[in-house]
Amino acid sequence: MKGKMKFYLLLGFFQLVLILIVFFSIDGIITMVAAQTESYDYFNSPTAAILAISAAISFSAAVIGSAIALKTVGTAAISALSEREESFFKAFLVVAFCEALAIYGLIIAILFLTKIPNPA
């Protein structure tokens, strides 16, 4: 399979996954499960555990991805700066994008953690 076709196939698969995530949102699943049972203990439900695990996975995956990207980009940025000093802004911008990836994971983890119910 050619590289361009493989890229478009992966892009289409990613769009399908995003559509399924929107369709089966957290609130939709909670409402669907709560409607099926008469007495639903939301505070001790598997949904709360899945939300906590999802927060941990989203944060850890974003930080690991950011670390791998920062290792690769940082090495290239330092070598580019040693050759030409006027490429500082471009190198700084790319490194900042790698750092932003970890912040996006933190934001998603916080959004998951705010959905976990408190019995107070």
Domain boundaries, the chain: 1-35, 44-120
Which contacts qualify for 68-71: CB closer than 8 Å, 24 or more apart?
A: 69/98, 69/101, 70/95, 70/98, 70/99
| Residue 76, H or E segment | helix 46-83
pLDDT band at residue 92 using 50, 70 and 90 as cut-offs: confident
Q: What is the dihedral of CA 39, 53, 107, 104, to 10 degrees?
A: -140
Structure token pair of residue 105: 């994971």
44-120 folds as F1FO ATP Synthase (1.20.20)
pLDDT digits (tens, 9 = 90+) for 28-65: 666 666 666 666 566 667 777 788 888 888 888 889 98
Highest mean pLDDT (candidates 16-25, 27-36, 91-100): 91-100
Contact 104, 62 (CB under 8 A): yes
